[in-house]
């Protein structure tokens, strides 16, 4: 079957201005593949206007799965018709940072992407993405669930860097997608007490349904609720899944002595965090951050989905055709009555 000359894309201008436009089909070269996008998740970062709008117009979307429709010369491990997921950012695996285990700060990772973006009927996967950022999907992982591999891989990496241990208590600040994925991943790895916070009651109900020990409003007495659920102690690990200054600063008062704070979400570039340094020093509190996922983290995330240890299906609240992308962005930006919104660009 001949490929079309043009395709539909959802072009982002602002959160309230997402337009369906036509674009030429990408052309692939040696080592590259053309992917027909079957599912593409809208990430919370896609609605960060302070980050996205200055670069607009652009086609977003980096949580993708689909079928291989064409392969370039030299591609050996994939064939037309294969079901795969692909990630937009891939490290070189040979530079100073990669060899030290910090693949997510690799220069190549921060420049790689696919063309034009996941909110399109087709995307071109460059050779680097084919080689180090594409995974074949087993039959038991459907296209919608596969869109979670990239964000779940980020969670896997964050938990690894946080060096938590079975038996540690955990506070997750923010009950959006990444907060809930942290909850599920913690349970899969044997966590006990896991408390989540948020300002949206819908999200807190979702957290409880997914097994949180407690889910409390972020504008309440979080410390008291945490101590009540955790034998009088604060959290051994605090994971901050929001860039809200109140959460970034509040985490410092919610971590137990000898504990760790994992900052998992960005804030606006001008924001500066003020630290009570002497107390953190005296209480031996560790601060760490995590960004993106390495190829190994993605493979672990896929395994967690494939073996059923993490079930993301109940987090999917909306499945929309590409033509309703504007509605999807509106749902994610509102963050009130939706969780995971997935677009189906190819029907």
Per-residue pLDDT tens for 90-145?
999 999 999 999 999 999 999 999 999 999 999 999 999 999 999 999 999 999 99
Closest CA to 179 of 248, 254, 239, 259: 239
User: How many CA atoms lie less than 13 Å away from 322 in the CB half-sphere?
Assistant: 28
pLDDT digits (tens, 9 = 90+) for 298-317: 999 999 999 999 999 999 99
> Is the Cβ–Cβ distance between 304 and 181 less than 8 Å?
no
What region, left, alpha or beta, does residue 318 occupy, with left being phi > 0 and alpha being psi -120 to 50 degrees? beta
What's 6-148+312-344's CATH class? alpha beta
Q: How far apart are CA 82 and CA 182, in angstroms?
A: 30
**Tokens 């969780």 — which residue?**
339
pLDDT-flagged residues of the chain (< 70): 1
Domain 161-289 belongs in CATH node 3.40.640.10: no
Closest CA to 195 of 177, 166, 217, 164: 217
pLDDT computed for residue 1 by the predictor? 66
Domain residue ranges in the chain: 6-148+312-344, 161-289
Q: How far apart are CA 250 and CA 232, in angstroms?
A: 18
pLDDT computed for residue 48 by the predictor? 94
What region, left, alpha or beta, does residue 92 occupy, with left being phi > 0 and alpha being psi -120 to 50 degrees? alpha
- What value, to the nearest 5°, has the Cα angle with vertex 226 and ends 193 and 183? 40
**Exposure pattern of 117-127 as b/e (b: 16+ CB <10 Å)?**
bbbbbbbbbbb
pLDDT computed for residue 336 by the predictor? 85
Name residue 161's beta-bridge partners. Answer: none
């Amino acid at each position: 079957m001949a490929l079309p000359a043009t395709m539909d894309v959802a072009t982002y201008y602002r959160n309230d201005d997402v337009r369906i436009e036509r674009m030429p089909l990408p052309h692939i070269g040696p080592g590259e593949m053309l992917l027909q996008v079957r599912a593409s998740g809208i990430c919370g970062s896609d609605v960060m206007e302070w980050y996205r709008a200055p670069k607009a117009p652009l086609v977003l979307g980096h949580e993708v799965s689909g079928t291989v429709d064409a392969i370039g010369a030299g591609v050996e491990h994939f064939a037309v018709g294969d079901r795969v997921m692909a990630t937009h950012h891939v490290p070189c695996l040979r530079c100073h940072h990669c060899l030290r285990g910090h693949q997510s700060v690799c220069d190549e990772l921060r420049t790689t992407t696919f063309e034009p973006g996941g909110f399109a009927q087709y995307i071109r996967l460059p050779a680097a993405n084919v080689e180090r950022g594409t995974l074949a999907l087993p039959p038991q992982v459907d296209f919608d669930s596969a869109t979670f591999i990239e964000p779940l891989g980020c969670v896997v990496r964050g938990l690894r860097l946080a060096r938590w241990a079975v038996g540690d208590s955990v506070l997750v600040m923010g009950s959006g997608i990444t907060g809930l994925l942290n909850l599920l991943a913690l349970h899969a790895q044997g966590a006990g007490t896991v408390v989540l916070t948020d300002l949206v009651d819908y999200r807190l109900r979702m957290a409880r349904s997914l097994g949180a020990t407690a889910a409390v409003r972020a504008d309440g007495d979080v410390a008291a609720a945490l101590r009540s659920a955790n034998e009088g102690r604060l959290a051994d690990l605090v994971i901050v899944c929001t860039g809200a200054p109140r959460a970034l600063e509040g985490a410092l008062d919610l971590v137990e002595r000898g504990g760790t704070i994992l900052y998992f979400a960005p804030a606006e570039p001008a924001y500066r965090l003020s630290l009570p340094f002497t107390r953190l020093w005296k209480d031996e509190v560790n601060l760490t951050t995590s960004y993106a996922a390495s190829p190994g983290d993605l493979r672990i995330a896929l395994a967690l989905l494939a073996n059923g240890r993490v079930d993301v299906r109940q987090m999917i609240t909306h499945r929309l055709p590409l033509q309703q992308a504007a509605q999807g962005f509106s749902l994610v930006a509102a963050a009130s009555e939706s969780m995971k919104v997935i677009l189906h660009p190819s029907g």
